[in-house]
Structure 1
Amino acid sequence: MQIIHIIILVAYVALMIGVGLWFSRSKSVSSGEDFMLAGRSLPAPVLAGTLLATFVGSGSIIGAASFIHQYGPFAGMFFFAGTFAGIIVLFFLAKRVHQLSKYTIPQLLEIRFGKPVRIIATIIILVAFIGITAYQFTGAGYIISLITPLSPVKGTIVAAVLITFLALGGGLKSVAWTDFLSIFIVIVALIALAIYVFAVDLGGMATYVNGMEPAKLTLSGGLSPLQLLGYFLPLFLLILGDQNMYQRLAAGASATTARTATIFFFIGALVVITPIILLASGSSVLQPGIEPDMAILSLADPAFSPLALGGLLLTGAFALIVTTGSSYLLTCSGNIVHDLVAQIRRREVSERQALVIGRIGVLCVAVLAYVMVQFFPSVLALQMYAYTMYGVAITPALFAALFWKRATGFAVATAMIVGSAVTIIWEVQGRSEQVNAIVISLPITIAVLVLLSLVTGSRSRDSKAEPAQQSSPGR
């Protein structure tokens, strides 16, 4: 435990609480739209900052770092390639998403496929997003336990309370601006530490290359192409269909603002992910026997970095996790308001009711996320499960709604259920340790969606044509 680390962490938490309290005022958040979409007023820089901070959380600083520590920098590049490919696709979708301006993905799906699909999508999204929120709690708990005398369990509780507070008070306005401020801390911390580790601890690139295991210097890191694909696809599919991304693009001040923000998002991701890959792989040279989850966080130890820089790293990592966790809490509350409560009542809730129910939803999701933490052995395992569940069930349905006119509601609903079931069965049987579930469940989901759409779509067209054929002799 280092006093300087604690001071830096406390200063960051105080700043976040101050921002949260400022945007919690009734003047800033007075309606459901203010709470969920920041009044559709976010400028491009803030929008880009919150997009980046939302997607780069403990899944990157802990989960991805664990992967890179085990398999090397080139495999790490392939791991993150899905993120960049997804951002490029979002650039072309940004204007259309802003114009649709819906609160949730299930709302978009209902317009095309009907209410049953909306309900199924809501359940799947909540299961996946509660999982993503859960590993933010765990990751933040790790960091608190490194900085303070608290155990990881107690640290997780403290983190859960802070993350919940930021989402609970000012909604997306609070979350977006804390994201924007936090991402600067993250960028400074990661770049400064990467420079120090390579210049001082490793003494240059030669030590880095010569000290790494030969398998980690290969393009695959010793993994098969199928295994690599199992890590690429979850991030790619998640970012393409992530409700957080769509909500933030809808919250931009204009459609042009939304598209501009995706350009900044791409650049910011490159700036953040590059030092993550370098630090995690460098850590495998400096401390090959360490727990992989701690590949980057352990570099905050005074043996590897100055106290102030170590404190900045831990606080930056904590900032990433807090902002991501609050974002997913907030988006889950949107599903509860608009896709559960409104459907049960059979009418949309008022703006005032949306604000109250949204805040209650944040609390409920936070409790469920904390419970889910107990069932997964590592952040990486929970990360892959959550990404796969969402990417398999939601992203194909969303793209069918946007781009394939022949897709049918029955086919989409069936594909979502089948894809989710295959993912859960694969996880329960423990097979994801060899090959991630997405490699199996995604092809099955797409096949079911396409084949059933072709069959049910042709039947629908035949049934419409029959009456016309029967009436023709009387003409």
Structure 2
Amino acid sequence: MNLVHVSILILYLLGLIATGIWFSRSKKISTGDDFIFAGRQLPTVVMVGTLVATWVGSGTIIGGASFVYSYGPLASLIFFAGTPLGILVLYVLARRIRVSGSYTVPQILEMRFGISVRMLAAAITILAYIGIVAYQFTGGGSIIALVTGLTPGQGATIATLIITFLALGGGLKSVAWSDFFSAAIIVTGLLIAVPLVLGHTDGFTGWWENLPEDATTFSGGLSALALLGYFLPTFLLIIADQNMYQRLGASKDPAAARHAMAGMFFASFLIYFPVIVLATAAITLLPDGDPGDAVLGLASAGLMPTVLGGLILASALAFIITTGSSFLLSVGSNIVYDGFARFSRGELSDRRRIVTHRLTILVIAVLAYVLGTFFPTVLELQMYSYTVYGVALVPPLMAAFFWRRATTPAVLTSMGLGVLVTIGWEQLADSELNAVIVSLPAAVVALVVVSLVTTPRAEALPDELADAEPGGSGPDAPDSGTTDPSTRKEP
């Protein structure tokens, strides 16, 4: 146990808690929009920081590093490619997402396909996001255990309490600003760490020449389908990630939403490049290490200056904490807006929305903590959660935005089949292939075939989902999207 690392970690966590307390004040959080959209007033640079930090959690710091350590740097380029490619898709959709004014992804689907699709999508989102929150608890516990000497279970309990507190306190305002500071620190720390760690491998020459043979190939020893099975879940998740949609909804206007996605695209390389380099170096520098500790192990093993190692460990934990808080906040919105607000007889007051949101966060946190005890590794739970959500939600979302012929029965069939095939494959199949290789084609084929034999809704593409140009008087107006579009009355 390194006392400097422990001290930095404690100070960092106290800073996160102080941020949550500051933004939990009633004058900062007085409406439902304040809680989930930060009042739609986040500066673009903070938007970029929170987008990056929300996406880069234990799935990157632990799960992604584990993949690099196991299969090598070239294969990891394919594994990580899903993020920048998915960001490009979101850049195209950013204007429509901001204009739709939706609180949740299921709400967007209702605008196109009706209430039944919204309810099924909400149930699937809750199922998948509880899993994602669970592996943030597990990943955070691993870092705390690595630094302090506590057991991973004890660390997970501490991570759970802090993650839940941040989500309960100031909502997106506290999460976004803590994201921004954490992103700045960890990017700086990782970039500084790269040349220092390469000094222990004799530069890139030794870094490469000491790798096992399989680790120097683009397959990493995996079959093409197995490698595709690692790429697709990440790619699908980011395209439909409700956190991304809600942060785009928190931007000041549609143009700011696109600027934020462009910033995230470039910032993502500042994370993935050093993670790949550092985790690859760990193959030779820490040959008997735990794959999940490939990056964090370098920081704790004395291979970089003590203060720098402490900052990387602390900010990596902060990334995981804010990612977990973001997903808790997001999945709580499904219960509040897709459930209580959608079916209440009168409009929910801001106070009731905030109270209900906070109560649901507590319940979900408990469920996620319990779930995390059933999966032995972060990477395993990561692939399972990503696949369930991505396979079920991406085909309907793409159809909602781009395919006028898609029908409600087809979407329901596609979503249900995607989930069932994913769960069935994971539970019953004895194969190296991730379920997405089977479940995604099944979901897409079902969507296309059933759409062609059924009748589409009369209003195939609502105005809110059309790609309107800025400056008009229609749904692109900056103040659009302040009410639930799915509750608007038809003329």
For the superposition of Structure 1 and Structure 2, which TM-score range results when normalised by the shorter chain?
over 0.9
1:409 partnered with 2:405: no
Cα pair 2:43 2:251 within 8 Å, conserved: yes
Cα pair 1:186 1:319 within 8 Å, conserved: no
Shift of residue 108, structure 1, vs aligned partner: 0.8
Shift of residue 75, structure 1, vs aligned partner: 0.6
Which residue is equivalent to 1:263?
262
Q: Structure 2: give runs of 5+ residues left out of the alignment.
A: 460-491
Shift of residue 90, structure 1, vs aligned partner: 1.1
Shift of residue 186, structure 1, vs aligned partner: 1.1
Cα distance in 2 for residues equivalent to 1:6 and 1:458: 59
Cα distance in 2 for residues equivalent to 1:258 and 1:379: 31
Cα pair 2:128 2:385 within 8 Å, conserved: yes
Which residue is equivalent to 2:484?
none
1:180-329 mapped onto 2 (5 Å cutoff): 180-199=180-199, 201-329=200-328
The one-character-per-residue Cα deviations of 1:98-119 (angstroms, maximum 9, x if unpaired) are: 1111100111111111111111
Which residue is equivalent to 1:38?
38
Which residue is equivalent to 1:436?
434
Which residue is equivalent to 1:92?
92
The one-character-per-residue Cα deviations of 1:118-145 (angstroms, maximum 9, x if unpaired) are: 1110110001011111000000000111
Give SS of 2:30's match: coil
Question: What amino acid maps onto 1:66 in structure 2?
Answer: S
Structure 1 stretch displaced more, 336-345 or 289-298: 336-345
Which residue is equivalent to 2:486?
none
Question: What amino acid maps onto 1:412 in structure 2?
Answer: V
Shift of residue 226, structure 1, vs aligned partner: 0.7
Cα pair 2:135 2:381 within 8 Å, conserved: yes
Shift of residue 348, structure 1, vs aligned partner: 4.4
Shift of residue 291, structure 1, vs aligned partner: 1.7
Cα distance in 1 for residues equivalent to 2:390 and 2:47: 23
Cα distance in 2 for residues equivalent to 1:343 and 1:316: 38
Cα distance in 2 for residues equivalent to 1:31 and 1:300: 42
Distance 1:460 1:23, change over 3 A: closer
Structure ID, larger Rg: 1
Structure 1 stretch displaced more, 328-337 or 346-355: 346-355
Distance 1:276 1:219, change over 3 A: same
Distance 1:348 1:107, change over 3 A: farther
Shift of residue 425, structure 1, vs aligned partner: 0.6
Which residue is equivalent to 1:466?
none
Cα distance in 2 for residues equivalent to 1:320 and 1:429: 34
The one-character-per-residue Cα deviations of 1:309-365 (angstroms, maximum 9, x if unpaired) are: 221121121011011101000001100101122345355422221111011111111
Give SS of 1:212's match: coil
Q: CA RMSD in A?
A: 1.5
Shift of residue 51, structure 1, vs aligned partner: 0.5
TM-score between the two structures when normalised by the length of structure 1: 0.94
Which residue is equivalent to 2:418?
419
Which residue is equivalent to 2:48?
48
1:151 partnered with 2:151: yes
Shift of residue 185, structure 1, vs aligned partner: 1.5
Distance 1:109 1:347, change over 3 A: farther
Cα pair 1:20 1:170 within 8 Å, conserved: yes
Cα distance in 1 for residues equivalent to 2:65 and 2:167: 27
Cα distance in 1 for residues equivalent to 2:422 and 2:78: 22
Which residue is equivalent to 1:374?
373
Cα distance in 1 for residues equivalent to 2:141 and 2:457: 54
Which residue is equivalent to 1:114?
114
Question: What amino acid maps onto 1:30 in structure 2?
Answer: S
Cα distance in 2 for residues equivalent to 1:240 and 1:413: 19
Cα distance in 1 for residues equivalent to 2:347 and 2:214: 56
Cα pair 2:24 2:174 within 8 Å, conserved: yes
Cα distance in 1 for residues equivalent to 2:240 and 2:19: 29
Which residue is equivalent to 1:9?
9
Give SS of 1:296's match: helix
Question: What amino acid maps onto 2:449 in structure 1?
Answer: L
1:132-143 mapped onto 2 (5 Å cutoff): 132-143=132-143
The one-character-per-residue Cα deviations of 1:127-173 (angstroms, maximum 9, x if unpaired) are: 10111110000000001111113211011010011011111010011
Cα distance in 1 for residues equivalent to 2:185 and 2:293: 20
Cα distance in 2 for residues equivalent to 1:342 and 1:332: 14
Which residue is equivalent to 1:168?
168
Shift of residue 11, structure 1, vs aligned partner: 1.3
Give SS of 2:332's match: helix
Shift of residue 303, structure 1, vs aligned partner: 3.7
Q: Structure 1: give runs of 5+ residues left out of the alignment.
A: 462-475
Which residue is equivalent to 1:61?
61
Shift of residue 177, structure 1, vs aligned partner: 0.6
Cα distance in 1 for residues equivalent to 2:159 and 2:389: 24
TM-score between the two structures when normalised by the length of structure 2: 0.91
Give SS of 1:457's match: coil
**Matched pairs, number:** 459
Cα pair 2:406 2:456 within 8 Å, conserved: no
Shift of residue 380, structure 1, vs aligned partner: 0.2
Give SS of 1:180's match: helix
Cα distance in 1 for residues equivalent to 2:343 and 2:289: 50
Cα distance in 2 for residues equivalent to 1:224 and 1:160: 37
Cα distance in 1 for residues equivalent to 2:111 and 2:346: 15
The one-character-per-residue Cα deviations of 1:152-210 (angstroms, maximum 9, x if unpaired) are: 101101001101111101001111111011101211221122221102x2121121111
Which residue is equivalent to 1:76?
76
Cα pair 1:333 1:362 within 8 Å, conserved: yes
Which residue is equivalent to 1:464?
none
Which residue is equivalent to 1:456?
454
Give SS of 2:83's match: helix
Question: What amino acid maps onto 2:434 in structure 1?
Answer: N
Which residue is equivalent to 1:396?
395
